[in-house]
Amino acid sequence: MDSNKLGHHISEQFNKELEDIRNKVLIMGGLLEQQIDLAVQAFTTGNIEIAEVVIKQDNQVDEMEMAIDQECTEILARRQPTAFDLRLLMSVIKIVHELERVGDKAKRVSEMAIQLGGGNGKVTYYEIEHMAELVKSMLHDALDAFARLDLANLSQITERDENVDREYDNILRQLITRMMEDPRHITRALDVLWTVRALERIGDHACYICEHLIYIVKGEDVRHSTQHQLEEKINH
Amino acid sequence: MDSNKLGHHISEQFNKELEDIRNKVLIMGGLLEQQIDLAVQAFTTGNIEIAEVVIKQDNQVDEMEMAIDQECTEILARRQPTAFDLRLLMSVIKIVHELERVGDKAKRVSEMAIQLGGGNGKVTYYEIEHMAELVKSMLHDALDAFARLDLANLSQITERDENVDREYDNILRQLITRMMEDPRHITRALDVLWTVRALERIGDHACYICEHLIYIVKGEDVRHSTQHQLEEKINH
């Protein structure tokens, strides 16, 4: 944590509040990384109990989002912050919303694991595990950058989303081929498709977290920028 | 507009600022309704020029989101509002984000229209038009409730999402049948599937707007509530 940024308040109490918020975001992020792990494990092993744990824990994710959101709003009302502090609080609300949506995707993967009941054709397992690793590392690194309020690695994180998209296209093509070869597999292949799509979206949310972080640090809204524009903005 | 709520400020200027924000949200909402119309028209007629208009206008949607978001943040910094005004500004930021995501869905429908180039099998046209009407009316009514800060019709809007989901399942089944009957149609059927999925999600965003509106008026965060819980909260 950059103590120049978060430790500059005369009010010790305000410093503590902001640090508390930041810690809660990181705890929530840790839970989401675990949710992704468990969901993919449930999917590749067909373990329905694990899938049910993920679905149950998603309520906890939702509650965390609402609690952090409320805490930020209360601080806004009580402290009436401006500049960096205001941007931090506004962006935390957006970041926990991205995390909540990551949670929805993990839940979706688990639902597909249950629906498929283990018999989901092993062809794409390796690819799905690989894709999950990719998006999980993007999310992890985005949260790590948030913890340190450090933009240095951001463009390297968002860049990796291209690999995710490539992997997604690759699996999609395999699935279509399989559906064509044996139309009886179409329903199951669609369930795998929803899973892969959910994982692909997690990569997007990790990128959005990076964008929110740039806004906190630089004060510039870089949503809807291209990779090239993003790099320019980080370096200026 | 409930003048008890938005017209209560001693500062005429602050009143004007809040009303200005509200108008901008409604203008943005109008653009999104148009985007849905055009996207579905492009899809069912195969008119690529219309599809391209939607894709181009999506930049405008993105810019509107960022402009309204920034305006809200500036008012927060300058006016340091609390209670109702704070909730209004925080929720407007969330509502325009829902609208921006609606825009993404309209764009997606248009991209599928281009990809299919008009030859997308007319079987599901009627159903897709019907589904688009459903979600567009939900969005329209949610924005109308926002304009009047009136919760009276909200549960009736969110309730309609069940019809959307039923329609979605129905079209999905048709598509799977068609894929099984002729595997050569699988790729095209998947493009139709993405379209239907995008429309279904617009219904969800309309429901989320209703939830944000309940927060503005009642001060209670009702996200992740069931239809039954929502009705309870509106009536108490």
Question: Percent of chain A beyond pLDDT 70?
Answer: 93
pLDDT value of residue A1: 45
Q: Which residues of chain B are within 8 Å of residue A186 when distances are taken between CB atoms?
A: 176, 179-180, 186
Indicate whether B201 pLDDT > 80: yes
Q: Which residue matches tokens 């675990």?
A: A34
pTM, full prediction: 0.95
Q: Which residues of chain A are within 8 Å of residue B97 when distances are taken between CB atoms?
A: 94
Q: Which residues of chain B are within 8 Å of residue A179 when distances are taken between CB atoms?
A: 179, 183, 186
d(CA A219, CA A210): 13
Q: Which residues of chain A are within 8 Å of residue B190 when distances are taken between CB atoms?
A: 176, 193
Q: Which residues of chain A are within 8 Å of residue B176 when distances are taken between CB atoms?
A: 186-187, 190
Band (pLDDT 50/70/90 cuts) for residue B119 is low
Average pLDDT over residues B163-174: 96
Band (pLDDT 50/70/90 cuts) for residue A236 is confident
A76/B86 Cβ within 8 A = yes
Backbone angles phi, psi at B48, to 5 degrees: -70, -30
Indicate whether A11 pLDDT > 90: no
The residue extents of the domains of chain B are: 3-235
Indicate whether B73 pLDDT > 80: yes
pLDDT value of residue A228: 92
Indicate whether A120 pLDDT > 90: no
Question: Percent of chain B beyond pLDDT 70?
Answer: 93
Band (pLDDT 50/70/90 cuts) for residue B3 is very low
Does A176 touch chain B if contact means CB atoms closer than 8 Å? yes
pLDDT value of residue A43: 93
Tell me the HSE value of B49 on the side-chain side, using a 13 A CA sphere.
0
d(CA A131, CA A162): 12
Band (pLDDT 50/70/90 cuts) for residue B9 is confident
Average pLDDT over residues B65-82: 97
Indicate whether A20 pLDDT > 90: yes
Indicate whether B151 pLDDT > 70: yes
B176/A179 Cβ within 8 A = no
pLDDT value of residue B120: 52
Chain A with chain B: Cβ pairs closer than 8 A: 61
Report the mean per-residue pLDDT for chain A: 93
Asked if B132 contacts B108 with a C-beta cutoff of 8 angstroms, the reply is no
ipTM attached to this prediction: 0.94
Q: Give pairs for A227-235: CB < 8 Å, separation 24+.
A: A227/A155, A227/A158, A227/A159, A227/A162, A230/A154, A230/A155, A230/A158, A231/A155, A234/A151, A234/A154, A234/A155
pLDDT value of residue A3: 46
Higher pLDDT, B119 or B29: B29
A66/B221 Cβ within 8 A = yes
Which member of B86, B93, B179 has the closest CB to residue A183?
Answer: B179
Band (pLDDT 50/70/90 cuts) for residue A125 is confident
Average pLDDT over residues B41-60: 96
Question: Percent of chain B beyond pLDDT 90?
Answer: 87
pLDDT value of residue A27: 98
- A223 to chain B, minimum CA–CA distance in Å? 8
Q: Which residues of chain B are within 8 Å of residue A69 when distances are taken between CB atoms?
A: 221
- A197 to chain B, minimum CA–CA distance in Å? 11
Mutation target among A55, A59, A80, A188 for the B interface, most CBs of B within 10 A:
A80
A176/B190 Cβ within 8 A = yes
Nearest Cα to A174, choosing from A235, A133, A122?
A: A122
Q: Which of A119-133, B59-73, B80-94, B193-207 has the lowest mean pLDDT?
A: A119-133
**For chain B, where are the alpha helices, taking DSSP H only?**
3-6, 12-45, 48-79, 83-116, 125-148, 154-159, 161-181, 186-218, 227-235
Give, in order, the Cα–Cα distances in Å from B231 to each of A12, B189, B224.
43, 38, 13
A182, with CB counted inside 10 A (0-12, 13-18, 19+), is: exposed
Q: What's the pLDDT tens digit per position in A84-99? A: 999 999 999 999 999 9
Does A10 touch chain B if contact means CB atoms closer than 8 Å? no
B187/A183 Cβ within 8 A = no
Asked if B189 contacts B174 with a C-beta cutoff of 8 angstroms, the reply is no
Average pLDDT over residues B186-198: 95
Q: Which residues of chain A are within 8 Å of residue B62 when distances are taken between CB atoms?
A: 223-224
Does B176 touch chain A if contact means CB atoms closer than 8 Å? yes
d(CA B232, CA B236): 6
Indicate whether B180 pLDDT > 50: yes
Question: Would you tell me which CATH number, out of the four given (1.20.1250.20, 1.20.120.1200, 1.20.58.220, 3.30.70.2750), belongs to the domain A3-235?
Answer: 1.20.58.220
Q: What's the pLDDT tens digit per position in A174-186? A: 999 999 999 998 9
Which member of B76, B176, B224 has the closest CB to residue A76?
Answer: B76
Give, in order, the Cα–Cα distances in Å from B147 to each of A116, B19, B69.
45, 10, 18
Higher pLDDT, A202 or B6: A202
Does A66 touch chain B if contact means CB atoms closer than 8 Å? yes
Report the mean per-residue pLDDT for chain B: 93
Q: Which residue matches tokens 């957006």?
A: A94
What residue in B sits closest to A62 (Cα-Cα)? B224
B223/A62 Cβ within 8 A = yes
